[in-house]
Amino acid sequence: MVPKLDGYDKSLEILEDRNSYSKTDHDATFMRMKEDAMNNGQTKPGYNLQISTSKQFVTHFDLYHNPTDTLTLIPFLEGYMKSFPNHLKETTADSGYGSEENYTFLENHDITAFVKYNYFHKEQHKPLKNNAFAVQNLHYNAQDDYYVCPMGQHMTHIGSKTEQSDSGFTSYIDIYQARNCSGCPLRASCHKSKGNRTISVNHNLNRLKKKAFDLLTSEEGQRRRSRRPIEPEAVFGQIKTCMGYKRFRHFGKKKCHMDFAILAIAFNLLKLSRLKATNVLDLLRKGVFVFILCVSYRILISVKQKAKILKKVVE
Ligand code: SF4
């Protein structure tokens, strides 16, 4: 019995704040992979690799045991800022990174966040945009702190609560309630609760989302959004498909870190050499083009001269 308990203690020590670990690599956590050969959603031991790129050069990377991207943004950016102090002024990321905690971090560090949130696309489409019952479409009177429901009733502030994320970030939620929903002809479409309709609102998150929305729909935001698929996604594609790097060749986080670092250096050097070669080729092509232009000009002149001489002879 005692050795078994010792075994459990040892496992808990290895686990730390995770809920699984691999017996062959204690640093690896079981997570769902994009590559699902069996098509049954089976989890496999691995690391969540995060990279940042600039003009398709890998600028920073790190490995995480958390399978969701949301919790990796802050440690990743902290690592980036350590490597490049006072360099990070703006960042672009997809909706997997748009949380109140991440937006707050970016705001506190004066980083312009072109970061989507989960409902960014959905809220621009008709079903949600035209839904008069959706919380985000209810009129809010900020001065007197109340919402107006589709029936025109005031939904007054009845309390607040706090919620904690997995990383310990605290969100403050305000609760509003309609005064009297009984007998309302819109009730069936409005809500399903037994009493009066109650809504929970995170005002800080709404403010941060509005800020992100304005940035993302600006001219610069649209340019950045169109560039995102050809930045990190393209780099991942080249690494996985063109270079065939789909698995780490080592066990343990430190070794996997070293493994990918070497690959990233090689990838960047390859990119640089190709860029230089392209530049040289471009120069050569331009040179050849100028040479062809000069030759054609000379031919044209000589033809013209010959024509003139012929004309004189005929006369
Ligand atoms: S059910 Fe209540 S909250 Fe909904 S529209 Fe009617 S009065 Fe307003």
- Judged by DSSP in three states, 80 sits in helix
Say how many Å lie between the CA of residue 183 and the centre of ligand 1. 9
Kindly report the number of other CB atoms within 10 A of residue 1's CB atom.
Answer: 5
- For the chain, how many residues are written? 315
Reported confidence tier of residue 150, pLDDT bands at 50, 70, 90: very high
Most ligand 1 atoms within 8 A of CB, residue of 147, 190, 192, 193 to mutate: 190
Does the Cβ of 197 fall within 6 Å of ligand 1? yes
Reported confidence tier of residue 122, pLDDT bands at 50, 70, 90: confident
Which of these ranges, 102-106, 142-146, 270-274, 302-306, has the smallest mean pLDDT?
Answer: 302-306
Give residues with Cβ within 8 angstroms of 244, minimum separation 6. none
Does the Cβ of 176 fall within 6 Å of ligand 1? no
pLDDT at 290 over 60: no
- Judged by DSSP in three states, 201 sits in strand
pLDDT recorded at residue 257: 95
Which of these ranges, 29-38, 90-99, 286-295, has the smallest mean pLDDT?
Answer: 286-295
Distance CA 315, CA 305 (A): 16
Answer whether 176's CB lies under 8 Å from 158's CB.
yes
Give residues with Cβ within 8 angstroms of 126, minimum separation 6. none
pLDDT at 236 over 70: yes
Reported confidence tier of residue 313, pLDDT bands at 50, 70, 90: low
pLDDT at 293 over 60: no
Distance CA 190, CA 134 (A): 8
pLDDT recorded at residue 94: 87
Reported confidence tier of residue 170, pLDDT bands at 50, 70, 90: very high
pLDDT recorded at residue 268: 94
Mean pLDDT, rounded, of the chain: 87
pLDDT at 303 over 70: no
Average pLDDT score over residue span 61-80: 92
Say how many Å lie between the CA of residue 202 and the centre of ligand 1. 21
pLDDT recorded at residue 284: 65
Distances (CA, A) of 131 to 137, 182, 314: 7, 21, 88
Q: What is the DSSP letter of 114?
A: E
pLDDT recorded at residue 167: 84
Top-confidence range, 23-32, 100-109, 221-230: 100-109
Give residues with Cβ within 8 angstroms of 142, minimum separation 6. none
Q: Which helix (H) or strand (E) holds 313?
A: helix 253-314
Most ligand 1 atoms within 8 A of CB, residue of 131, 186, 193, 196 to mutate: 186
The pTM of the full predicted model, rounded to 2 decimals, is 0.81
Atom of ligand 1 nearest to the CA of 196: 2
Domain layout of the chain by residue ranges: 122-212
Reported confidence tier of residue 262, pLDDT bands at 50, 70, 90: very high
pLDDT at 259 over 80: yes
